[in-house]
Amino acid sequence: MRIPIYQIDAFTNEQFKGNPAAVCPLNEWINEDLMQEIAAENNLSETAFFVKKRDEYELRWFTPSGEIDLCGHATLASAYVICTYLDESLKSVKFNTKSGLLEVSIDGNLFTLSFPSRKGEKCDTPEELIKGLGKAPKEVYKSRDYLAVFESEQDVLSLELNMDELKKLDGFGVIVTAKGKEVDFVSRFFAPKAGVDEDPVTGSAHCTLIPYWKNILNKNELVALQLSARGGKLYCTDLGEKVKMSGEAVAFLEGYINV
């Protein structure tokens, strides 16, 4: 079997920046174990697989260690592959996923994702979170992930991480955030339980970040920067039950998997 594969750097217009995702278009679904093995072999934070069904696409995402319910950068990368290599006439793409119907609109080089809002609930600070980050945040919220809020951008940059402690938490991952110096807010994201110690740019984390910072800054339009080594910029909008995040993408690789 020959499976097409593309590697796309998402939330950036430069190669080797943003978040790399592998994208595999399929004519029909293949065995789930095989998809997981391909994702583990790619060893990227996510590998996306999609199958066209009429005017929409069924989309699934896998980390090196398991399937996940929502992924922003691999959704953006999938839309990029569809609009660049499969149907250049499209101005929007609809995906059926484990998180419901997701839509990506295209305007020139900018891809805008419409995702469900995941507002966090304020909670006590777990001891494992303090040990895992090397310092105590000023407040903590919980949705799918823990959201740890710090005083400054420097706090976010200077964490002393212990992944073994973060693995003990009951959430999927850990979002760390603070008000930005040159943007509205900054963040980092860690998901060691999913085989991703630090994710370069995380769309799904912004489903929680956007409603938080909308309330803090009292503005619906926000510019965000994820402070990973690769870095990535997102243009965000709070729409109540949904959030929008926009970014660019650039291709790095195209080829075939032989299995």
Residues 27-44: tens digit of each pLDDT: 999 999 999 999 999 999
Q: What is the C-alpha to C-alpha distance for residues 96 and 181, in angstroms, rounded to an integer?
A: 37
Amino acid at position 30, single letter: I
pLDDT band at 88; cut points 50, 70, 90: very high
pLDDT at residue 99, rounded to an integer: 94
Q: Which residue ranges make up each domain of the chain?
A: 2-115+246-258, 121-238
pLDDT in the model for residue 162: 98
pLDDT tens-digit readout, 108-146: 999 999 999 999 999 999 999 999 999 999 999 999 999
Question: What is this structure's pTM?
Answer: 0.91
Q: 206, exposed or middle or buried, with CB in 10 Å at 0-12, 13-18, 19+?
A: buried
Percent of the chain residues topping a pLDDT of 90: 99
Is 248 labeled as catalytic in the residue annotation?
no
Residue 195, class by beta-carbon neighbours within 10 Å (0-12 exposed, 13-18 middle, 19+ buried)? middle
Which structure tokens are listed for 140?
């903590």
What is the helix (H) or strand (E) element at residue 56, kind and residue range? strand 56-62
Average pLDDT value for residue range 233-239:
96
What's the CA dihedral at 232, 233, 238, 243 to 10 degrees? -40
Q: What is the chain's mean pLDDT, rounded?
A: 97
pLDDT at 207: 97
Query: What is the Cα–Cα distance from 3 to 26, expressed in whole angstroms?
Result: 7
Summarize pLDDT for 157-216 with one digit per residue, the tens.
999 999 999 999 999 999 999 999 999 999 999 999 998 999 999 999 999 999 999 999
| Per-residue pLDDT, 8 | 98
pLDDT recorded at residue 35: 98
Q: Which H or E run includes 238? A: strand 232-238
Q: Determine whether domain 121-238 maps to CATH 3.10.310.10.
A: yes
DSSP 228: S
Q: Which of 28, 32, 46, 153 is catalytic?
A: 46
Say if residues 189 and 202 touch (Cβ distance below 8 Å).
yes
Contact by Cβ (8 Å): 200, 45 = yes
Specify whether the CB–CB gap between 259 and 36 falls below 8 A. no
CATH of domain 2-115+246-258: 3.10.310.10
> In the chain, what is the straight-line distance between the N-terminal and C-terminal CA atoms, in Å?
5
Tokens matching residue 139: 């407040």
Band (10; pLDDT cuts 50, 70, 90): very high
Cα–chain center distance at 151: 24
pLDDT digits (tens, 9 = 90+) for 168-178: 999 999 999 99
pLDDT tier at 47, thresholds 50, 70, 90? very high
